Amino acid sequence: MNAIPVFIQPTDTLFLRGNSAFGGAGEHGVGSLLPQPSVLAGALRSALLAQHPTELARFGAKGCNEDPALQACLGTPQQPGAFSLCAVALAQYHGNAATPMAYLPLPADLVEVDGQLVPLHPQPCPEGICRSGPLPMQAMLRSASQAKPEGGVWLNWAGWLAYLQGQLPTIDQTVKTSHLAKPDPRLGIGMDSTTRTTQQGLIYTTEGFAFRPAELGLASGSGVGGSGKESNGETEPPPAGATGYLAAVEGIGSLLPAQGLLRLGGDGRSARWQRLDVAAWRVPTPPPAKRFRLVLHTPGWFSGGWLPEGVQRNAAGDYILQGKGFSARLVCAAAGRRECISGWDLYEWKPKSAHMVVGAGSVYWFDDFDGDWDKLAEWVEAGLWPQNLSTEQAQRRAEGYNRAWLAAWPQD
């Protein structure tokens, strides 16, 4: 992946609302700490256009650019260009590290119980047990206690690298949400658009997030690039403890300056960005094997619902992943709670179609692999998309959906 990492640091409380119903008296607008990838993709594309005011006006009026480099990057609303968001995570600077440490929620097959990380294992369902899943195996938790798994746990990049190689991360490679950000709810009152006065009974709250300030940094450590060296660029790294988002972007070349400001979220809150001169999200490909896992690190926008693209049920009832030069059988899945995504089309000035997506962190287990391992790795790295994309699929691909990592199947 030839992607450029960008660190985005909000300068104020950030309000990132989902698609939950909201608007009635006394309702609470639930926010999301980790935004949908389309939020950051839209903010970065808008920031690119804002560097060229004339092109920004032309794109708003005609949906295209005269500048060849900008046109190749952004394309048109109907045919996106080379720009593509590859990954997004929370990130925090530690100590004197030149790059931030990335944090992602735990994958669906890993939970924290009694202060320890415990994996879920795919197991055949015993006879006599009814379940809704059509696959031959079920992801099961083996635990000596009946404690409820902890929520709000984030795994750092070192832990993710170990997990993707089939190892069990350690508890010291995790942090709680409170180490990265804290809730900042706000009270609001509905307004009458005609009289500009308050409406009786329309009091509501919205959930925002205040990111940890720089002086509250954690212990030192290396970041996603793993260098830990002093920056040799023109800009200095943010101070220790600075928390924000880390996005990896393809296709921008030198169009995005070294640093700048952008608008983030529906409320247009300000955020600083800074390009990082390191290799982003470099994940070693596991050695060829008959069994493997696919782990979504952005939500899955699949035409088959919970099934990844390329997976079809055959006459024997098996779910087969059929790609160009490879095949495998899907035997188990741990899919996170589904999410609803939509958005606002600024060019068309109308809402985007709402779709249900598979949650980030979902895990799929495959066996009986046959074919070229390198071709499987190339397909996964490019995103779990079919060969021929519809207009909407091309748009969602540019926004960063269907991104996954190829992971080893741990030894039992």
User: What is the DSSP-derived secondary structure letter of residue 75?
Assistant: B
Give residue 206's pLDDT.
82
Give residue 277's pLDDT.
79
**Nearest-CA neighbor of 248 among 357, 400, 383?**
400
- Residues 340-377 pLDDT 10s: 888 888 888 888 888 999 999 999 999 999 999 999 99
pLDDT of residue 171 exceeding 50, the answer is: yes
What is the pLDDT of the chain when averaged over all its residues? Answer: 87
**Residue 58 phi, psi dihedral angles, 5° rounding:** -65, -40
User: What is the DSSP-derived secondary structure letter of residue 216?
Assistant: G
Q: Which residues contact 334 (CB under 8 A, 6 or more apart)?
A: 107, 108, 109, 120, 139, 362, 363
Strands 198-206 and 28-29: parallel
Ordered by start, the domain boundaries in the chain are 4-104+209-275, 105-177, 292-408
CATH architecture of the domain covering 292-408: Sandwich (2.60)
What is the C-alpha to C-alpha distance for residues 1 and 121, in angstroms, rounded to an integer? 30
Cβ neighbour number for residue 93 with a 10 Å cutoff: 26
- Residues 13-68 pLDDT 10s: 888 876 665 555 556 667 789 999 999 999 999 999 998 888 888 888 888 888 99
Lowest mean pLDDT among 123-132, 265-274, 315-324: 123-132
pLDDT band at 273 (very low <50, low <70, confident <90, very high): very high
User: What is the DSSP-derived secondary structure letter of residue 31?
Assistant: B
For the chain, give the percent of residues with pLDDT over 90: 56
User: Mean of the pLDDT values across residues 306-332?
Assistant: 96
Give residue 15's pLDDT.
86
What is the C-alpha to C-alpha distance for residues 99 and 92, in angstroms, rounded to an integer? 9
119, 152, 158, 228 from 174: Cα distances, Å: 14, 10, 10, 19
What is the C-alpha to C-alpha distance for residues 272 and 238, in angstroms, rounded to an integer? 10
pLDDT of residue 233 exceeding 50, the answer is: no
